[in-house]
Amino acid sequence: MAPRLQLEKAAWRWVELVRPEDIRREHIELAYRVNIAACKRGACRRNCKGNPNCLVGIGEHAWLGEIDENAFHNIDDPNSERRDKNTFVGLTNLGATCYVNTFLQVWFHNLELRRTLYLCQNSRAEEHNMDSDYEPQSICEHLQYLFALLQNSNRRYIDPSGLVKALGLDTGQQQDAQEFSKLFLSLLEDTLSKQKNPTLHNVIQQQFCGQFSYVTVCNQCGRASPLPSRFYELELNIQGHKNLTECVTEFLKEEKLDGDNRYFCESCQSKQNATRRIKLHSLPRTLNLQLMRFVFDRQTGHKKKLNTFISFPEQLDMGPFLEGKQDGKCVYELSAVLIHRGVSAYSGHYIAHVRDARTSDWYKFNDEEIEKMEGKKLQLGIEEDIAETVKSQARKPKCSKGYHCSRNAYMLVYKCQEEEEEENSESAKTNVEVPAFLQRLVDRDNRKFEEWCCEMSDMRKQSVDKGKAKHEEVKELYELLPAEDDQPYEFLPLEWLKKWLDDSTATKEIDNSNFLCSHGKLHPDKVGEAKRISLVAAQLLYERYGGGPRLDASSLCEECVGQRCRVLRLKNQLNEDYREVTNLVKGPLKSEEGYWVGKASLRSWRQLALEQLDEDEQETKHSDGKTNGQGPEEEADIAAMREYGPEPQEGTEDMKTFNEDILCCHGGLCILETERRLVSEEVWSKVRAYFPKAPMFTQDQEACRECLRLEQEEKDNEAVSKMMASDQKNLLLNLFQEKNRPALNKWPQDTDVLYVVPMFFVDEWKKFIRRPTKMSPVSSVGNSLLLCPHGGFMFTYDSLLKGDAQHIALLWPSEWEVISRLFMVDQPISIHRCSQPNGPSTEYTTQPDLCRECREGFIFQQQRDLREYAQATIYVRKVVDDKRMREAPPETNASGSESEDEREEPAKMEGGGDPDFSQSEDGAKRLKLSDDAAGAPLGPAPIASVTKSGIRRSTRHRKLRGEKALIVSANQTLKELKIQIMHAFSVAPFDQNLSIDGRCLTDDSATLGSLGVIPESVICLKADEPIADYAAMDDVYQVGMPEEGFKGTGLLGH
């Protein structure tokens, strides 16, 4: 099928031979493409929008043929959420809580611990009204309910968010799993010790607690000093070891105390060389062995993971490590292995391999997913493959029978073999029974789950039934859609047909309102977005879905087709007229009578004519306008126009009407003859045909009299301005040339008074003197800019010496006399020198007096603004030694923007063209204050305050070699700045020594504003020797905030 543009051009090709008044029905049908052949299935890869008869690729392929009923819904089978028979229940990962889930599963499989928890008194659960959801309060209640659900729930996995929320854990931050284990068992022990049932008080100790002692032996007298202690887990160093036996041996090995580390012996009453070792006295029923994979790296100051392979046995004999005889209670069976996937200590994933105490089957618990291992054997191979991406020279060692090897195991749980035998005895083989009060709650949750399953099943069935009905409807109607030749037809929106065939969206009623032209019929431009279907199919669709207005064969608009025909014919004629006018203009003016036309209009008349024709065409369009920009006919014609002439030149783009460029504001002929030219009557008649409303000026037409008068007045005013500027310059020559200027730090001896005017006034006056014909004359001196709302002066003599003088200009009394005479002055301001009669000291006063109240507010605001910036530039300078660090003063000067006059005229006095004065919205000039004079008086003052987003300084900072500019804010912490510096200088934060003005910056948590870092500050950086492993440094700074562990959680009693 021909492309869309070719189809649309072919639809209007007949206009070249047919005039608008000769249009017949066959031409209208050509314009609406009624007789284009329909596409066959398989012929088009996608639907032909240019062909209203193409019904291929609108979504029908999804319905034709046999369809699997699962395609009619997107609802998963609710039975997939059901717990399988003889399997365990998983736990939902709430974000980063996989470390919590692994321990919960390990503790759940400790039958004695589970049985104990069920014995805890829970009056809230026992008395709970089953009409409402049960919400546990205490940690013990949460754990009870969670274990009951894990045991008897019908769900494949349950949500532990109640327990996690009660503990106050951050679900988005992964914590130290080993620390969580210690704190949770400690919390559970404390909770059980408060139970009324005395048999529950020591359950945690009986299950997990063992005894050892630190024994120190004096080498001099042989006295042994034991220090007994309890343990709930043994923390074993794995660095440098290959198997578990080596780790335990190192844990118990003897340590020598000598030199500075000697031991004070109470018998010898002096420090003596000694030995110290740990002696194991008793072991718990459940032995937790923590493999210390996460260690502190002194080089980086943060944790890292050791990916060392450690071999451990399924059966562990602890007899050789115990002191004294233990009656055979020394052999342990492996019951759980906790795994950390990943190479970093700050990320990764936790899973648990746990052995079922009743069946001895091994299961892998991975949050919601539970997998049973084959052959009652522990299988860690898959977990070890996860970390193979780490560059490690160590290969996985071969393991003997009865041993396992892992580089990711971080905790091993062993059960005493005697304990195992007891649990597997006939009396204990039965499952731990859930108490009746908890089983009631579990049953209620199971009923809710079953109701949800039924609801989901019903929704699936409804979707399938609806889909099957829709399938039958589509198969029936799609065959009826194509309109046969010479048979009645209607037009339907293509988008509606697509949505009708898209099962994911609800089918709305048919809406043809956007397809109507101004005559209430189908617009020719909308044919590409509609499809022609048979009357039978249209009747069925309208009966089922409703809508309208209906567009049949009588809806083809003859008026729109006729108007389009006229416009296209004129566009075709335009090319010929343009070439003829171009040739006529090049020749001499033959007749005496001519017409004035604008040169810009003559250059762009073809484009203006095309736009005029487009406007005529738009009048027949629906209010929606074109849906795809220019139609193909317009695009082709515009391209043809560009082939024959230049583009409209600058200044003509906004031209709406031909000849408006020589029309003055009074409606007459403009006085600038350079902007117009004479053309012959023949040229004018051809152009006039396209612009019947264009202003017409004959050759003898006079230029606008009002414009001529105004031009003469302007020339007279320029002469007056030049004379005024010359007189003022001669009277104030020294002020203009900046010669012989008074200065406060060198007060002139021949006067006791100096006058003050704003520098803004001097700058504006100089601009007028330099360019009197371009600039307006200055009429007044606005000294109120320098006063507070109470009429007091805002600057002191000392502040003027320190920098505020950049906003003012000092005048001699003689100059002030001239200025008072030439300009209107709202308020005289002067500075007086007063000599003391009894001493050499001199005082300086101002008139008006200083307003102390506003001055204090002004200084306060200045200091606050310097510390409340949202975005500012500071400079970091890298230094080599401490000496340079102390001597390098901070350059706290920032650049101010230069005005246009400053760029044009470099020879200016300091402060000339000061950009500190800006135009406010009401037109009044307002003063912006620099850092030295920045701020705003309290209350409504005419002096504008410094914006917080960027404080302007008085002079420009020049960046030195070795400096780098950084964008910071006042609320940013020093640690965040150090991370910026790390990326800029490749210096790790812990190697950075920062100082400002000789003062060291050490508090990483303090904000830059509180540390006195202001915009344009220069911070000195002295770097220590960098670390070699920058990959480790990047890993460390993936952690955005300092580690707080379990601070603020329920595990620490909060």
Between 4-11 and 632-644, two packed helices, what is the crossing angle to 10 degrees?
90
Element (H, E) at 854: helix 852-866
Residue 1025, phi then psi, degrees to nearest 5? -60, 130
Q: Is 858 exposed, middle or buried (0-12, 13-18, 19+ CB in 10 A)?
A: buried
Write out the two tokens for 306: 């050791």
Give CA–CA dist 243/731, Å, rounded.
101
Q: For strand 362-366 and strand 369-372, is the pairing parallel, antiparallel, or unpaired?
A: antiparallel
Note whether 150 and 106 are within 8 A (CB): no
Looking from the CA of 722 toward its CB, the CA atoms found within 13 Å total 7
Write out the two tokens for 763: 């700058």
Give CA–CA dist 232/666, Å, rounded.
100
Is the peptide bond preceding residue 848 cis, with omega within 30 degrees of 0?
A: yes
Per the listing, tokens 């233990």 go with: 326
**Residue 865 CB partners (closer than 8 Å, separation 6+):** 934, 935, 945, 946, 948, 951
Q: For strand 753-758 and strand 830-835, is the pairing parallel, antiparallel, or unpaired?
A: antiparallel
The per-residue b/e assignment along 957-979, b for 16 or more CB within 10 angstroms, e otherwise, is beeeeebeebebbbebbbbbbbe
Per the listing, tokens 């951050």 go with: 170
Give CA–CA dist 476/474, Å, rounded.
5
Residue 882, phi then psi, degrees to nearest 5? -65, -30
Between 681-690 and 558-586, two packed helices, what is the crossing angle to 10 degrees?
160
Give CA–CA dist 213/227, Å, rounded.
5
Range list of β-strands (E), 314-445: 315-317, 331-341, 349-355, 362-366, 369-372, 403-406, 409-416
Element (H, E) at 816: helix 813-822
Write out the two tokens for 426: 């006939």
Write out the two tokens for 382: 């898959």
CB atoms within 10 A of CB 91: 27
Q: Which residues are catalytic?
A: 98, 349
Write out the two tokens for 639: 């391209």
Write out the two tokens for 1008: 């830059």
Q: Which residues pair with 315 in a beta bridge?
A: 333
Q: For strand 157-158 and strand 992-996, is the pairing parallel, antiparallel, or unpaired?
A: unpaired
DSSP code of 260? G
Write out the two tokens for 1044: 């707080």
CA torsion, ordered 294, 295, 297, 298, to nearest 10 deg: 160
DSSP code of 233? S
- What DSSP letter does each residue of 109-136 carry, written as one string? T-HHHHHHHHHS--HHHHT--TTS----
3-state secondary structure of 164: helix
3-state secondary structure of 924: coil
Of residues 155, 174, 153, 154, the one with CA closest to residue 164:
174
Q: Which residues pair with 334 in a beta bridge?
A: 414
